[in-house]
Amino acid sequence: MKDLAVIENILRNRHHFFIEIRDGIGLQEKIRAMLISCIAFLALYGAVMGSTHSLWQTLSSAVKLPLLFLATLIVCTPTLYFFNVLFGSNQSMTQNVAVIITAITVTAVILLSFAPITMFFLLTTSHYQFFKLLNVAIFAIAGIAGVVFLSQGMRMVAASGNEGAGARRWLLYLWIIVYAFVGSQMAWTLRPFIGAPSMQFELFRQLGGNFYTNIFASIGEILGFVTVR
Amino acid sequence: MREKSSSPKSSTIDQILDLLLDALLERQAARQAQAEQPDTVPTPKPSVPPSPIEEATTGPLAASEAPVMEPTTEERQPPVKSARRSQKSQHRRPRPGEEGWTPPPKQPSIHLGRTMGRLLVILVALMALINIPLNRHGTSLARIMPDTAALVIRDGLVVKGSGPEIYALEDNRLRWISSLEAFEFFDYHWEQVHIVDDDFLDEFEMGPPIHVLLKCQGSPHIYALESSKKRWIKDIPTFVAEGYVWEDVKGVSCSYLRDLPDGPPIPDDAGPPPEP
């Protein structure tokens, strides 16, 4: 419960929080508290998503959703860090990780706040494609909020090194796009998170297709243009 | 040249500008007096940006390099737009992280951590509640809604129309599962079977049926089981031509095989089937 207090610091005193990261104050404690919070929130939201299919899917999604975010973090952080260093940043890797985990924590908090809504639709509709697109929309909203935080955090944490600040800002925007692509591909690799009603539980589904074509196909099916094959 | 063209109209404009400048100077003086008063609380300034003309008169840059406010000579007036733009960029409030920026004071705690903890507990309890099985089939509240979901059409999808036949989808073709034994042998489950409209079935072409092949130890013959009848497969070339594989052959007792009624052989002109 004590670790959850970090959420208040992030949401209400974000400037001070980022300044502390910039000054390297209590980095390890912050990272630990944020990791615990975001894993708990993401696991719970994952469980809500998987509940529509089966108990196994519930448990599987509860594990896979935090894994998705952490794996994406591990894959993408070195790129941001080394490019930042290349363009004159004097942040440490830990500071970079702390800022990115802050963004993930914000995303997780927003997802948790949407959990009752997701649960409501889970209990009142069983249209798989609708439920899938609803979750894509929720993840998009939560992701945008996280990215805004990341952008603010990076600007503040990098404030001490002004050399190449403009280049680093553009680099961050590009990195966010890369992060989104890696994240969506990671999600596609770790799917299913909801579990198609016509299929038995599977921990991982065979690869093939991609996230974007599937989303367009789902929209097409809801509008009655195509059937997802 | 401009001196020449000055008229009573232009002098009126000059007067208006003079009046405007006087008003601005008064406002500036009032603001400076206000600013000199000591601040008790270091709150950030209100977010309303000062007007460009005010900025021109108040800012240090305006004093040093902006002759904009000299009303006596019209020639000295710079274009308003460019002045506005340059002064806006030089006088905008510093953004977070920029030099000169000070963070707002820390907000007092509203015990958000405790609220988050409660929300977590409530959601976990709700999750457990909606996942508790309600009947002997293990259906929970989360999965109690009738299955009106769109089917994900893919290989292995098991469907049933209004008739008794059950089909499995393979390579975009429906393959009839020809017996209960075949259904069980190929590890299909009743929960997988989706009731669909006959129109849906009509969208697909039919593939070869899925048979379970039966053989007893004391006999070299192999039979395909179809609608509870055994169909003798004439020879190995026919077996291969029908697309069967040895993994599809299920060993049964010869008495069980003998008790099954004979169906037409494979191929149909193979002659009378031998006894197993």
Q: So what's the pLDDT on residue A28? A: 92
Q: Return the SS3 of A5.
A: helix
Residue B50: is its pLDDT beyond 50?
no
* pLDDT 10s digits, A74-90: 999 999 889 888 888 88
Residue B138: CB atoms within 10 Å: 11
B154-210: CATH topology is TTHA1013/TTHA0281-like (3.30.2390)
- For chain B, residues classed under CATH 3.30.2390 are 154-210, 211-276
Report the number of secondary-structure helices (H) and strands (E) in chain B.
10, 9
Return the domain boundaries, chain A.
Answer: 5-222
Is residue B93 within 8 Å of B80, Cβ to Cβ?
no
CB pairs under 8 A between A and B: 130
d(CA A183, nearest CA chain B) in Å: 24
Q: So what's the pLDDT on residue A107? A: 95
Which among A5, A53, A123 is the nearest to B130, CB-wise? A123
* pLDDT 10s digits, B117-142: 888 899 999 988 888 887 766 677 87
Residue type at B98?
E
Whether A123 sits inside 8 A of B107 (CB atoms) is: no
d(CA B110, nearest CA chain A) in Å: 8
Mean pLDDT of chain A: 86
Q: So what's the pLDDT on residue B171? A: 83
Residue B43: is its pLDDT beyond 50?
no
Q: So what's the pLDDT on residue B65? A: 43
* pLDDT 10s digits, B227-272: 888 889 888 888 888 888 888 888 888 888 888 888 888 888 877 8
Phi, psi (degrees; rounded to nearest 5) at B235: -155, 180
On the question of a cis peptide bond just before residue B209, with omega within 30 degrees of 0, the verdict is: no
Residue of A nearest to B109 (CA): A8
Whether A44 sits inside 8 A of B127 (CB atoms) is: yes
Q: How far is CA A44 from CA A59, A177, B91, in A?
A: 10, 27, 47
d(CA A9, nearest CA chain B) in Å: 9
Residue B82: is its pLDDT beyond 70?
no
Q: So what's the pLDDT on residue B249? A: 86
Residue of A nearest to B145 (CA): A126
* pLDDT 10s digits, B177-208: 988 888 888 888 887 888 887 877 888 889 88
Verdict on whether the full-model pTM lies above 0.80: no
Whether B130 sits inside 8 A of A1 (CB atoms) is: no
The ipTM estimated for the assembled molecules is: 0.77
Q: Is the dihedral of CA B223, B226, B230, B232 positive or negative?
A: negative
Please list every residue in chain A whose beta carbon sits closer than 8 Å to the beta carbon of residue B117.
1, 4
Question: Residue A147: left if φ>0, alpha if ψ -120 to 50, beta else—which one?
Answer: alpha
Residue with more model confidence, A121 or B108? A121
Q: So what's the pLDDT on residue A125? A: 79
B211-276: CATH topology is TTHA1013/TTHA0281-like (3.30.2390)
Please list every residue in chain B whose beta carbon sits closer than 8 Å to the beta carbon of residue A13.
106-107
Residue B39: is its pLDDT beyond 50?
no
On the question of a cis peptide bond just before residue A192, with omega within 30 degrees of 0, the verdict is: yes
Residue of B nearest to A53 (CA): B143
> b/e map of A5-23 (b: 16 or more CB within 10 Å)?
bbbbbbbebbbbbbbbbbe
Mean pLDDT of chain B: 74
Q: So what's the pLDDT on residue B256? A: 85
Please list every residue in chain B whose beta carbon sits closer than 8 Å to the beta carbon of residue A157.
97
Q: What is the DSSP string of B200-266?
A: HHHTSEE---B-EEEEETT---EEEEETTEEEEE--HHHHHHTT--GGGEEEE-HHHHHHSPB---B
Residue type at B86?
S
Q: Which of residues 133-152 of A touch B (CB under 8 A)?
A: 152
In angstroms, rounded to a whole number, what is the distance separating the alpha carbons of residues B57 and B34? Answer: 16
Find which of B118, B123, B140 to mutate to test the A interface (most A CBs within 10 Å of its CB).
Answer: B123
Please list every residue in chain A whose beta carbon sits closer than 8 Å to the beta carbon of residue B96.
15, 152, 155-156
Residue with more model confidence, A221 or B178? B178
d(CA A22, nearest CA chain B) in Å: 10
Find which of A55, A57, A198 to mutate to test the B interface (most B CBs within 10 Å of its CB).
Answer: A198
Q: So what's the pLDDT on residue B145? A: 65
Q: How confident is the model at residue A43 (pLDDT cuts 50, 70, 90)?
A: very high
In angstroms, rounded to a whole number, what is the distance separating the alpha carbons of residues A140 and B71? Answer: 55
Q: What is the DSSP string of A30-84?
A: HHHHHHHHHHHHHHHHHHHHHTTT-HHHHHHHHHHHHHHHHHHHHHHHHHHHHHH
Q: How far is CA A222 from CA A197, A226, B209, in A?
A: 16, 8, 33
The 8 Å CB, 24+ separation contacts for B106-112 are B106/A13, B106/A16, B107/A12, B107/A13, B109/A8, B110/A8, B110/A12, B111/A8, B112/A4, B112/A5, B112/A7, B112/A8, B112/A11, B112/A12
Q: So what's the pLDDT on residue B55? A: 42
A95 in reach of chain B (CB within 8 A): no
